[in-house]
Amino acid sequence: MLVVMQAHATEEQVRAVCRKIESLGYRAHPMPGAQRTAVCVTGNRGEVEAGTLEEMAGVQELIRVSKPYKLVSRDFKEENTVITFPGTDAAIGGPGLAIIAGPCAIESREQAFAAAERVSRAGAQFFRGGAYKPRTSPYSFQGLGEQGLQIMAELRDKFGMKIVTEAIDNESLELVEQYADVVQIGARNMQNFSLLKRAGRCRKPVMVKRGMSATLEEFLMAAEYVMSEGNYNVILCERGVRTFADHTRNTLDLSVVPAVQRLSHLPIVVDPSHGTGKRNKVTPLSRAAIAVGADGLLVEVHPEPDQALSDGMQSLYPDQFDELMTQVRQIAPVVGRTVAATSTRETAAVVSS
């Protein structure tokens, strides 16, 4: 249920409505909007009894939400959610595209810094790198763990980039939350509801990747799990779905971008690296992702893809990423978007080092 407050309702009136909702055993999610504040009521006890809520001061109307997703829905919040990072101009969901780049896994300080230097210089404001890797085989490289997180923290200081990295369970989330700027929940964990709830109690924005065979509704419900625990800074990420097609590792479903944007206020980015699994398809599909209206890209870039411990086949060479950024800069304005300038500071830093 949605409690829509009057345009002139006071903060105290909103607080009173929230207290009332909590006293009934539900959870209240107040969301200030451009016109008015709405309070979403959630809880797993079925139908909410409107009761005296309707009569409270400042309440304009009660709206029953028939969709399974509530907090995620544009019914709850009409304006796009823009996720900002205090002290920087980086943002996800605003007019500027969020370019998130870096290697699949952090393998060493050298590799991470080499990647960061290049992607930062090319204009990426976000660095991606795995410290905890969900691998199909228990015998494959599983990531450097906390050491990987420490390398990324150093990297943030040096290059001024925001760090996006995956948590694979409650234990790793505990650490990722301390080091990272955005906590990534991987495709294989999109319906690990326990982890989603834990992410909903973390203080950092959460990026939820679409599961390999997740429907649009399941994708949105994963975000709803995070939001239902009080963390409203959620980013969705399309990374390809599993089909019969065998010319790419997954089938990148770009139509989900306008579909999400129609139903939800949350930002959505696209990962063409996992979405195709083939280096030579990453740039064309990145162009397509921007053209379709995505809020950003998540791209794998490795200083030496042929030596990568994981996903080398789909990682771009740094020069290819430069070229990709050039093309993205050309398409962005067509869809009313901007891209951060190439980092001259970092270029200078590199020259002097």
Closest approach, Cβ 353 to its own copies, in A, equals 33
248: Cβ–Cβ under 8 A, 6 or more apart, which residues? 240, 275, 276, 277, 278, 281
Q: Among 7, 57, 153, 245, which residue sits at the site for its own copies (rule: CB under 8 A)?
A: 245
Closest approach, Cβ 212 to its own copies, in A, equals 5
Q: Among 126, 179, 225, 321, which residue sits at the site for its own copies (rule: CB under 8 A)?
A: 225
Q: Among 203, 262, 341, 344, which residue sits at the site for its own copies (rule: CB under 8 A)?
A: 262
When asked if residue 275 is in the footprint of its own copies (CB under 8 A), the reply is yes
Report the alpha-carbon angle 271-275-276, nearest 5: 130
When asked if residue 195 is in the footprint of its own copies (CB under 8 A), the reply is yes
Measured in degrees and rounded to the nearest 5, phi and psi for residue 233 equal: -90, 80
Nearer to its own copies, 80 or 248 (CB): 248
Closest approach, Cβ 315 to its own copies, in A, equals 17
Closest CA to 92 of 155, 26, 20, 182: 182
Instruction: Give the contact letters, 137-176, x = binds to its own copies (CB under 8 A), - = no.
Output: xxxxxx-------------------------xxxxx----
Spatial distance between the Cα atoms of 310 and 312, rounded to a whole number of angstroms: 6
Nearer to its own copies, 180 or 187 (CB): 187
When asked if residue 327 is in the footprint of its own copies (CB under 8 A), the reply is yes
When asked if residue 185 is in the footprint of its own copies (CB under 8 A), the reply is no
When asked if residue 291 is in the footprint of its own copies (CB under 8 A), the reply is yes
Task: Choose the binding region for its own copies from 92-100, 110-118, 122-130, 215-223 (rule: CB under 8 A).
Answer: 215-223
